[in-house]
Structure 1
Amino acid sequence: MNSPKNTVTSKDVAKLAGVSQSTVSRVFIPGSSVSEKTKQKVFEAAKALNYRPNAFARSLTTNESRLIGLVFPDADYPIHMKTLQLISSELQKQGYSTVLIPWQVDEKDNHSIPNIFQYRVDGVIAASATFNKTLYEECEEFNIPVVQYARVVEGTRSSYVISDNYEAGQQAAQLLHKTGVTSAVYLTGEVPTFTNVERKNGFIAEFEELAGQTPRVVEASYDYTSSLDTIRELLQTSQRPEAVFCATDNLAMAVMDVARLECGLDIPDDLQVIGFDNIPQTEWLSYQLTTFRQDFKRLARESVKIIVDQICNQNSSLVKMMVPVKLIERKTTKV
């Protein structure tokens, strides 16, 4: 094994393979014009010498890092890790690597993010609803394309690929109306997002049209534990709704736990519950939650397609795409 003091360089690989140093560099640039025979010679020499190309050094020459920055909130919510894997896989197919840029909030509630430009990323895919607009402006200034994944930060000029949340809201209203519900609540979290507002608006408009009643909107915390007091207050009053459509599956499961364990309610006879996201726990026997499945594979595929097109073709046109969702009916709504 080569020691740090005797680092193998592209010059060493070129000498062993019998090619020029520039040829070695081109071999490790995806899409470059090098014959298969030459590539094989270089790969064999690189393997024999345990050579690893320096991506950063290559970026200085090509002015491309082949890196995409992924800006995500914390990975605690089950779908976040899955979507990270899907996006990374799609990018790898296109010859790109990823660098994860976590979105954080400090003790003073100030948003912070590592300097994205120190990574020399070619583009950014953002899936944080609280993404700082300043970073969008900086990306625009430096001609770094941004695609928003499953989220939209209003007031920013960038492409996005999201689920059709308005249609999801309409489908939830139609399902509840079909089962005879006349009083419903939309339970949301404390952070306002474009996609959540669209879902709420679709639900309210359709329920008003079908049932002639306006659903209440109740704001809780997106965190399971922190939401419990608000849910108790909602379910332990004389104005308890017949159904609750929740902004996330976490909230829906919190509603179910309070309803069953503390209020003695039967689901779905006393209370119908609908969630959103179809996280793995929704299939557990104790929940069997009716919810909506987002097509994360397509969301990832379309997001990567857009970002690669904008990088390779310098295409600055904005793409706004909505992908249909699928209603998954289980045992928390009446048949």
Structure 2
Amino acid sequence: MNIPKANATSKDVAKLAGVSQSTVSRVFLPGSSVSEKTKNKVFAAAKTLNYRPNAFARSLTTNESKLIGLVFPDTDYPLHMKTLQLISSELQKQGYSAVLIPWQVDDEALHSIPNIFQYRVDGVIAASATFNKSLYEECAEFNIPVVQFARVVEGTRSSHVVSDNYAAGQTAAKHFHNNGVKSAIYLTGDIPTFTNNERKAGFCSEFESLTNKQAHVVEASFDYTEALDKIRVVLSQVNRPDGVFCATDNIAMALMDVARLEFGLKIPDDLQVIGFDNIPQAEWLNYQLSTFNQDFKRLARESVKIIVDQISQNDSTLVKLMLPANFIERKTTR
């Protein structure tokens, strides 16, 4: 009777399975050529001994860790956890594992670069809006490919997969115009990003083209609570807007709550609101928010495909992919 041993090695598995140690290594190496009969023998021995292959040791042999670093600012926003799950699932299908690397915005001493090299990741998928350019430079120096997910950091040479934010802005402006909006604003947060600027530009340009009036831009905060005071100022104006396109659903919900609870406004009769992201709360009965849905499943699939191709083919060709964002009309617009 074989008794499972602590810290079993590939040598122990090889002895029990009656094969060479190199054969055991090949069995646990994706894509290697080993017969099914031999695989089954090795797997049975590994199970008996409670053996787990050492990924770090294997990476020294193959020069690949099969790890992809996912750089995210935080997981507080409702879609971030879903996005992490989608990317991780797509990576698993390709034989890779994800390492979450939180990007610290408020502390210069806490940043992602040491973590990336500590884990010896083969590539990086970045979804942080405030990603430091020095990270791209470090990754380029060590030939680590980076794909930006739903983000574009200007001045960097890396691939990206994003939604067509400019077209989404145009669609919002057209919808407001078709529904009688006379005075519109774009309500945004306090962190400038390329994708947000594209959305704003599309909206403001199209609204002015259709109405000969400027859509004003108001900077609040991406945080629900911190956005409230600026929203109160906007709604206190004598000539307050009758249409607001919000950079995120979070801001849109803050706007709707203040408008209804503090100013007694009816939505959409007195104020039409459009958000962006289609977070789960957008469907809640209290909101029923008209918003834009980004195809995060496809964004994840395309980002993983690009990073895996660049790793496997050692291809540094930049890929810039843009996907449509679909407008979902609910009850905050007429």
Q: Does 1:153 align with 2:153?
A: yes
The match for 2:260 is 260
1:70/1:101 contact within 8 Å kept: yes
Aligned ranges 1:88-107 → 2 under 5 Å: 88-106=88-106
Give me the TM-score of the superposition, normalised by structure 2: 0.97
- The SS at the match of 1:105 is coil
The match for 1:277 is 277
Unpaired runs of 5+ residues, structure 1, are none
Q: How big is each residue's C-alpha offset from its partner over 1:270-322, in whole Å with a ceiling of 9 and x where there is no partner?
A: 00000000001011110000000000000000000000000000111000000
AA partner of residue 113 (structure 1):
S
The match for 2:28 is 28
AA partner of residue 69 (structure 1):
G
The match for 1:194 is 194
The match for 1:112 is 111
Q: How big is each residue's C-alpha offset from its partner over 1:132-168, in whole Å with a ceiling of 9 and x where there is no partner?
A: 1111100000000000000111111000000010110
Q: How big is each residue's C-alpha offset from its partner over 1:45-79, in whole Å with a ceiling of 9 and x where there is no partner?
A: 11111100000011011110000000001100000
Distance in 2 between residues matched to 1:217 and 1:96, nearest whole Å? 42
Change (3 A) 1:256 1:110: farther
AA partner of residue 146 (structure 1):
V
Distance in 1 between residues matched to 2:10 and 2:168, nearest whole Å? 54
Cα shift at 1:2: 5.2
Distance in 2 between residues matched to 1:163 and 1:35, nearest whole Å? 44
CA RMSD of aligned residues (A): 1.2
Distance in 1 between residues matched to 2:216 and 2:242, nearest whole Å? 12
Cα shift at 1:325: 0.8
1:71/1:100 contact within 8 Å kept: yes
The match for 1:326 is 326
Cα shift at 1:236: 1.0
Q: How big is each residue's C-alpha offset from its partner over 1:90-114, in whole Å with a ceiling of 9 and x where there is no partner?
A: 000000001100011345x666226
- The SS at the match of 2:182 is coil
Distance in 2 between residues matched to 1:36 and 1:185, nearest whole Å? 64
1:106/1:112 contact within 8 Å kept: no
Distance in 2 between residues matched to 1:282 and 1:265, nearest whole Å? 19
The match for 2:228 is 228
Distance in 1 between residues matched to 2:55 and 2:181, nearest whole Å? 59
Unpaired runs of 5+ residues, structure 2, are none
Cα shift at 1:188: 0.5
The match for 2:122 is 122
Give me the TM-score of the superposition, normalised by structure 1: 0.97
Q: How big is each residue's C-alpha offset from its partner over 1:2-32, in whole Å with a ceiling of 9 and x where there is no partner?
A: 56xx420000111111111011111111111
Q: How big is each residue's C-alpha offset from its partner over 1:204-230, in whole Å with a ceiling of 9 and x where there is no partner?
A: 111111111110000001100000000
AA partner of residue 273 (structure 1):
V
The match for 1:248 is 248
2:159/2:319 contact within 8 Å kept: yes
2:65/2:120 contact within 8 Å kept: yes
Q: Does 1:288 align with 2:288?
A: yes
1:101/1:114 contact within 8 Å kept: no
Aligned ranges 1:308-319 → 2 under 5 Å: 308-319=308-319
AA partner of residue 7 (structure 1):
N
Distance in 2 between residues matched to 1:309 and 1:202, nearest whole Å? 33
Distance in 2 between residues matched to 1:224 and 1:114, nearest whole Å? 30
AA partner of residue 140 (structure 1):
A
Moved more, 280-289 or 110-119: 110-119
Distance in 1 between residues matched to 2:104 and 2:297, nearest whole Å? 26
Equivalent pairs, count: 331
1:207/1:215 contact within 8 Å kept: yes
2:27/2:39 contact within 8 Å kept: yes
